Amino acid sequence: MVKKIKDNKRNSRRAKGFTLIEILAALALIIFVIPVVMKGISIATAVASDIARKSVAASLAENQLADILIEKQWQNSSLTGDFGKEYPAYRWQMTSANWTEPGLNQVTLSVMWESRGYGRKVELTTLVWTNEQ
């Protein structure tokens, strides 16, 4: 009976630790999985930032195009500008050209900015009736 108790104590001591293979497997998992997860988080953050900047650029383009149309500045062939201190990273350019149909002009407003070293752009285009027949 005494021998059985001693054997059980030895087995319970051995079962408490990890084997070298288990430790190596855990390290390999950490070495390969953590960088992939971190890269995924980095990509997701960059995409979210790009979407936010595109949304701001689209809103700025819509407002600027509306101002140009209201003030009839579209009659100039091209205009450029920026959005002041509120949006210093963004700039805009408007071009106006005759459309294929008489009496219509195509007005295109582009909003440009740089993100992660690359130039980005959002464009809005509309047709304006020139009252010429």
CATH of the domain at 74: 3.30.1300
Give domain status of residue 95, yes or no. yes
6 in any annotated domain: no
Give DSSP secondary structure letters for 59-81.
Answer: HHHHHHHHHHHHTTGGGSSEEEE
Residue 94: what are its φ and ψ, rounded to 5°?
Answer: -115, 135
pLDDT at 41 over 80: yes
Q: Is residue 53 part of a domain?
A: yes
The 10s digit of each residue's pLDDT in 86-115 is 999 999 999 999 999 888 999 999 999 998
Name the residue range of residue 106's domain: 15-129
**Considering the entire predicted model, what is its pTM?**
0.72
The pLDDT > 70 percentage for the chain reads 87
In total, how many domains does the chain have? 1
